[in-house]
């Protein structure tokens, strides 16, 4: 069977990237990829551990001349965000990703690529397999469920890790090393609702309202780009249309991940035929206005309202509808504050990522991020206040701390020195608004010296995700040169 990535350099990195792309690995469903990695380590004759959280640790001794060098932990995560285009039939539970090479980029057909963080896994496997690459003792740590709460990192038993230098390969901008990151947590609001039976009359019309063409994106890396949030747009539409004519809501949903800016939102409504023109005029006005607002960030945005033959048997009571709209309107989303210490760095944000409706409640889930714990709490308090106003319940989960800057980092200085010698320019040292597992490890290992780096990736957490081939090669070469310096 032909390989889509055959001939790409570094050959063994892309060999393993293609291998793991065949294995389902959505967050919370990492059993198959974890077992693959365990089998790989054992087949290589290396000390291999699979813990209860399905984290994988593979240890390899240093090569000749590096036997007594400091141990380096190479770290990434095995799970991926599973998003697909609306018309895609891809089944993430069983289908391999369909890889496509377009010039300098690797993409997947209609789905996320999983470069975040499959490329870290692929680099680590290529190093573990190698016989001729000089390196200090290695501990490869591949964690689970990074994308939905960093559960693997949190569950890691520190006794399994000896190294005190950690290189996290989970960044997405070549030529930059990250030395600090924001903390975060997930927030959930549950709004109790009531339904009333619906018996359609001859003049009743059922319409679906959908967003289309939003780019979405990573809620940490791309929250500052002002991209449209499908959940907020649907709430805005319902609030506006409700003031123009009488509507009844039969269904609403939007988004699929708290840490991905939602691209798709849908509402099913019922209205009287006599109000149809008013309704369509309102939709047209909103479509035109939002297109102007998003012309730079989401130039393909479109608001679609269509008659549907969906059978409606129940609708929300007016009180339930009003409370739901109020919550979706009042819960903040997007950038909440910018850093006053580091130009261009988002300090705090919230992403209203998921809306779901069931028999008894509407649930609204968000991802809160901040480099300051007090601001993270403040955003949580805002959401809790909204929950109280709409007679809902509020809870948080998946909290993780910020990773603070280490003034005396040796691995940072090695990267700076090696990069300067290799490329004749200074590597960029930066902080990031997204969360990194380094923050968890900083709590578990107070003396761990860490940096994060990686190749150029774009459109992460969206079906537009792509990985640069040349950047991957340069990043891997840099990693090998850095390892060679740790003696």
Give percent of the chain with pLDDT exceeding 70: 100
pLDDT digits (tens, 9 = 90+) for 260-315: 999 999 999 999 999 999 999 999 999 999 999 999 999 999 999 999 999 999 99
Identify whether 288 is a catalytic site residue. no
Of the candidates 378, 370, 406, the one whose C-alpha atom is nearest the C-alpha of residue 220 is 370
Of the residues 146, 298, 449, 465, only one is catalytic, namely 146
Report the CATH number that the domain containing residue 212 is assigned in CATH: 3.30.70.360
From 376, 400, 424, the end of a domain falls on 400
Average pLDDT over residues 343-356: 95
Q: How would residue 1 be classed by pLDDT, with cut points 50, 70 and 90?
A: low
One domain, residues 94 and 167: yes
pLDDT digits (tens, 9 = 90+) for 154-203: 999 999 999 999 999 999 999 999 999 999 999 999 999 999 999 888 89
One domain, residues 48 and 99: yes
One domain, residues 144 and 208: no
Average pLDDT over residues 7-36: 97
Domain assignment present for 62: yes
> Strand, coil or helix: what is 362?
strand
One domain, residues 193 and 176: no
Domain assignment present for 4: no
Domain assignment present for 230: yes
| More confidently predicted of 389 and 149 | 389
At residue 2, the pLDDT reads 75
Q: How would residue 342 be classed by pLDDT, with cut points 50, 70 and 90?
A: confident
At residue 86, the pLDDT reads 84
One domain, residues 395 and 457: no
Contact 297, 214 (CB under 8 A): no
From 355, 384, 400, the end of a domain falls on 400
At residue 343, the pLDDT reads 85
Average pLDDT over residues 423-451: 95
One domain, residues 232 and 91: no
CA distance 116 to 121: 10
Domain assignment present for 1: no
Contact 182, 402 (CB under 8 A): yes
One domain, residues 113 and 175: yes
Identify whether 146 is a catalytic site residue. yes
Domain that holds residue 296: 185-400
Report the CATH number that the domain containing residue 147 is assigned in CATH: 3.40.630.10
Of the residues 18, 19, 30, 79, only one is catalytic, namely 79
CA distance 252 to 235: 9
One domain, residues 158 and 203: no
One domain, residues 175 and 193: no
pLDDT digits (tens, 9 = 90+) for 226-244: 999 999 999 999 999 999 9
Least confident range of 30-34, 161-165, 207-211, 458-462: 458-462
From 364, 381, 400, the end of a domain falls on 400
């Amino acid at each position: 069977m032909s390989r889509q990535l055959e001939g790409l350099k570094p050959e063994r990195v892309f060999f393993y990237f293609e291998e793991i792309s065949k294995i389902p690995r959505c967050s919370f469903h990492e059993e198959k990829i974890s077992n693959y990695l365990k089998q790989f380590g054992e087949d290589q004759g290396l000390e291999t551990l699979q813990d209860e959280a399905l984290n994988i640790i593979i240890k390899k001794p240093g090569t000749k001349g590096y036997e007594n060098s400091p141990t380096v932990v190479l770290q990434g995560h095995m799970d991926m965000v599973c998003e697909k285009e609306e018309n895609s039939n891809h089944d993430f539970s069983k289908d391999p990703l369909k890889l496509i090479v377009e010039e300098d980029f690797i993409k997947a057909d209609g789905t996320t690529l999983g470069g975040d963080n499959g490329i870290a896994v692929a680099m680590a496997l290529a190093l573990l397999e190698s016989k001729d690459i000089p390196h200090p003792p290695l501990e490869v740590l591949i964690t689970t469920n990074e994308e939905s709460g960093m559960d693997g990192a949190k569950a890691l038993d520190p006794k399994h890790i000896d190294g005190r230098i950690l290189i996290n390969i989970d960044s997405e901008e070549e030529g930059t090393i990250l030395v600090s990151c924001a903390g975060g947590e997930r927030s959930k609001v549950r709004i109790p609702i009531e339904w009333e039976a619906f018996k359609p009359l001859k003049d009743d019309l059922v319409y679906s309202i959908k967003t289309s063409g939003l780019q979405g994106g990573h809620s940490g890396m791309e929250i500052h780009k002002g991209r449209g949030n499908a959940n907020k747009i649907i709430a805005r539409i319902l609030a506006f249309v409700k003031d123009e004519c009488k509507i009844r809501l039969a269904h609403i949903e939007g988004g699929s991940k708290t840490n991905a800016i939602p691209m798709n939102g849908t509402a099913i409504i019922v209205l009287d035929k006599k109000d149809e023109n008013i309704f369509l005029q309102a939709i047209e006005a909103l479509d035109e206005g939002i297109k102007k607002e998003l012309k730079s960030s989401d130039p393909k945005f479109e608001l679609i309202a269509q008659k549907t033959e969906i059978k409606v048997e129940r609708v929300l009571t007016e009180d339930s509808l009003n409370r739901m709209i109020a919550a979706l309107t009042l819960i903040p989303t997007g950038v909440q504050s910018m850093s006053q210490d580091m130009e261009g760095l988002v300090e705090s944000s919230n992403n209203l990522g998921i809306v779901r409706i069931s028999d008894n409640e509407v649930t609204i889930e968000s991802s809160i991020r901040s480099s300051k714990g007090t601001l993270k709490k403040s955003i949580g308090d805002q959401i809790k206040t909204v929950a109280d106003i709409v007679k809902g319940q509020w809870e948080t989960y998946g909290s993780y701390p910020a990773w603070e800057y280490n003034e005396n980092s040796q691995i940072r200085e090695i990267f700076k020195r090696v990069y300067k010698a290799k490329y004749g320019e200074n590597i960029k040292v930066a902080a990031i608004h997204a969360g990194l597992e380094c923050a968890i490890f900083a709590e578990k290992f107070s003396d761990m010296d860490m940096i994060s780096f990686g190749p150029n990736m774009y459109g992460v957490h969206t079906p537009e995700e792509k990985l640069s081939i040349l950047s991957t090669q340069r990043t891997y070469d840099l990693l090998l040169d850095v390892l060679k310096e740790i003696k």
